[in-house]
Amino acid sequence: MARINPAGLAQLQARLAPRALRAAEAAAEVLKAKLEGAGSGRQYPSLPNRSSNENEYPAEQSGELARSIQARISPGRPGFAEFGSIDGPAYAAVLHFKPPDAGGRPFMNDAQHDRDIHAAILKSMKGGG
């Protein structure tokens, strides 16, 4: 069985971290853009924008969710980065995990399969570094 050289692994992780962070930042920017603006659903009198329909990203109402989308090096995981609602509003988890037919919008599940986000990640990774 092959043995991993700890110094080599540390070097690899150090080289991967900036690329991983660039990729996560690119993904976060695309996701933020998709969380801005009105949806195509119902306009409620108490909300500034039309709500989203099922299978749409959540519509912007206060802007808190979009502002919470960030990227960072994954804590405790050298060489890895992550993006999403980091320290976001309390309603973000409820919005994400509630079933769509009950008003939930699983925005991170959608982001996982979003071709625009995939393209942004790939483009950033090909950028070198």
Is 71 within a domain? Answer: yes
Confidence class for position 129, pLDDT limits 50, 70, 90: very low
Which tens digits make up the pLDDT trace of 45-74? Answer: 999 999 999 889 999 999 999 999 999 999
Is 102 within a domain? Answer: yes
Q: Which residues contact 14 (CB under 8 A, 6 or more apart)?
A: 78, 79
- Contact assessment for residue 96 and residue 84, using Cβ atoms and an 8 Å cutoff: no
pTM: 0.88
Q: pLDDT at position 127, please?
A: 73
Q: pLDDT at position 1, please?
A: 74
Among 105, 30, 115, smallest CA distance to 69 is for 30
Is 30 within a domain? Answer: yes
Is 94 within a domain? Answer: yes
How many structural domains comprise the chain?
1
